[in-house]
A = this chain, B = another copy of it.
Amino acid sequence: MLGTGLIGLFYTTTLIDRRSCDSIRVVYSRTEERAKAFARQWDIPRYTTDLKAAIEDPETDVVVIGLPNDCHEEAVSLAAAAGKAVLCTKPLGRTAEEAKRMLDMVEKAGVFNGYLEDLVYTPKTLKSLESVRRGALGEILWVRSRETHPGPHSAWFWDPRRAGGGAIVDMGCHCVEIARNFIGKNNRPVEVMCWTDTLVHPIDAEDHGIGLVRYESGAIGQFEVSWAFRGGMDLRDEVSGTHGTILLNHWLRTGFDLFTSGSSGGYVAEKVETDTGWLFPVGDEVQALGYVHMFRDMLDALDEGRPPMETFYDGYVVNAVIDACYRSAKTKKWEPVELDYWRADSPTPRIKLNANEIDGKLLIKEEYMPDGTIKRIFRDKESGDISQTSVPAP
């Protein structure tokens, strides 16, 4: 386990705290004090401030990277050199170029690699992806993914030199990959349009970002991120298809409402901006954030000799989309997604619903009316003229 911050804590909780057959044998932190405290808290046999030593530890089978963004490449490079399986937190790199170097390292070394994009692994997302694969929504038209909260916990996130950017590189990476999973990993992200601004915080990086990613099929992946949302953390996804719709609320409204006047003394609830009034807790946070199913897939995949659902290649594609976003935010126009590697089986065709034809006219809409008739709206193929008829319902 590399890293003892919030993300290292979530990963460790998930890996250890569940009657698991897996264990953490050595933990690395940049400061000895934190490494030691973390090892003690979680009953980890060894701790170290030597990154190389942690990775090369003979009991280390899998290297789990939970470090700041600017430390990923070095850790991946050491893991690849040591021939160890490596799981890296999101985003993979600060730029597509950095991500590509990491991808090349692990592929050249032939080591197992997993991209720890937890939010595609939430139980709700996994079940939704299954429904989409079964055709419940028809063809996917539009996916909207939102992650907003009042800003990250650690200092380095706020420094674009270390993080690679602001809210987009921090949270947009989730949104981009969630949309890509729904729209199809075979469906090439073609171009992006993105707005960013720094509206609230005294920082150089963006604290707001909205982006549209257009895919080969015509589908749109939309993301919205903010480090200035008030009211807690808002994690929502929406998927629109030709035959159905999915609405997911992962955090703020999940069927758990608590009101407290806060007047009975003591610490009463986790602090979500406020600790009185109506609060919306989450039952099991590591589960709701996808960590449980993510590590299960990663480690099962390693055991079974198959790639996991998310690999470094996916991390690289996400970085390439984000790079295009930052370019678009500057040029103020759509920018192409530049991908040196694109690994699709085949091109994805344009979204197409074949309109019914009746008497040589295209049927636009058919509606059952309260008076028992069917109203049909047509378009003449030649003239483009719109007409309307009413027939008795069968």
Interface bits A85-123 vs B (CB < 8 Å: 1, else 0): 000000000000000000000000000000000000011
Q: Is A246 an interface residue (CB 8 A)?
A: yes
Q: Known contacts A268-B136, A364-B203; is A254 also within 8 Å of B255 by CB?
A: yes
Give min CB distance, A3 to chain B, whole Å.
16
Complex-state Cα separation, A244 to B125, whole angstroms: 28
- Complex Cα distance A280/B253, Å? 13
In the complex with contacts A158-B379, A212-B210, A283-B127, A229-B218 CB distance below 8 A: no
Query: Are A226 and B240 in contact, CB atoms less than 8 angstroms apart?
Result: yes
Q: Which residue of B lies closest to A263 (CB)?
A: B243
Q: Is A7 an interface residue (CB 8 A)?
A: no
Q: Is A216 among interface residues, defined by CB-CB distance under 8 A?
A: no
Alpha-carbon distance A136/B280, docked complex (angstroms): 13
On whether the beta carbons of B244 and A155 are closer than 8 Å, the reply is: no
> Is the beta-carbon distance between A228 and B246 smaller than 8 angstroms?
no
Max chain B Cβ within 10 angstroms of own Cβ: one of A195, A334, A364: A364
- Pull 10 A–B residue pairs with CB atoms less than 8 Å apart, ordered by A: A124-B256, A135-B266, A135-B268, A158-B365, A199-B218, A204-B384, A228-B240, A229-B245, A250-B255, A254-B255
Interface residues in A, total, Cβ within 8 A: 122
> Is A131 touching B19 in the complex (CB atoms < 8 A)?
no
Of the candidate stretches A26-34, A39-47, A56-64, A269-277, the one touching chain B is A269-277
Quick check: which of A175-183, A337-345, A385-393 contacts chain B, the rest being far away?
A: A385-393
Q: How far is it, in angstroms, between the C-alpha of A353 and the C-alpha of B201 when the chains are bound?
A: 8
Given contacts A208-B141, A277-B276, contact A255 B253 (CB under 8 A): yes
A197 at the interface (CB under 8 A from B): yes
Residue from the list B142, B243, B258 in contact with A260, Cβ < 8 A: B243
Residues on the B chain within 8 Å of A243, using CB: 230, 260-264
Q: Which of A171-223 contact B (CB under 8 A)?
A: 193, 195, 197, 199-204, 208, 210, 212, 214, 218, 220, 222
A244 cross-chain contacts in B, Cβ below 8 A: 230-231, 258-261, 264, 268
Say which residue of B127, B142, B274, B283 sits within 8 Å of A122 (CB atoms): B283
**Does A373 touch B at the CB level, under 8 Å?**
no
Which residues of B sit under 8 angstroms from A51, Cβ to Cβ? none
**Interchain CB contact under 8 A, A296 and B259:** no
Cβ contact within 8 Å between B156 and A386 = yes
Instruction: Please measure, in the bound complex, the distance between the C-alpha atom of A247 and the C-alpha atom of B256, giving whole angstroms.
Output: 6
Copy number in this complex? Answer: 4
Question: Does the CB pair B281–A278 fall under 8 Å?
Answer: no
Q: Is the CB of B255 within 8 A of A255?
A: yes
A→B interface (CB under 8 Å):
18-22, 122-128, 131, 134-138, 141-142, 144, 148, 150-151, 153-156, 158-159, 162, 193, 195, 197, 199-204, 208, 210, 212, 214, 218, 220, 222, 224, 226, 228-232, 240-250, 253-269, 271, 273-274, 276-284, 287, 292-293, 295-296, 299-300, 331-334, 351, 353, 355, 362-365, 367-368, 375, 377, 379, 384-388
A158 contacts across to B, CB distance below 8 A: 364-365, 377, 379, 386
CA distance A284 to B284 in the complex (A): 12
A179 CB, min distance to chain B CBs, angstroms? 13
- Whether A18 contacts B218 by the Cβ 8 Å rule is no
A159: shortest Cβ distance to chain B, in Å?
4
Q: Which of B22, B258, B293 contacts A245 (CB 8 A)?
A: B258
C-alpha gap A244/B256 in the complex (Å):
14
Contact A268 B131 (CB under 8 A): yes
A232 to B218, CA, bound (A): 23
Given A124-B256, A124-B281, A141-B226, 16 new contacts (CB under 8 A): A124-B255, A127-B282, A137-B230, A155-B386, A195-B214, A202-B363, A208-B220, A244-B264, A245-B259, A246-B257, A253-B255, A255-B255, A261-B274, A274-B278, A276-B277, A284-B293
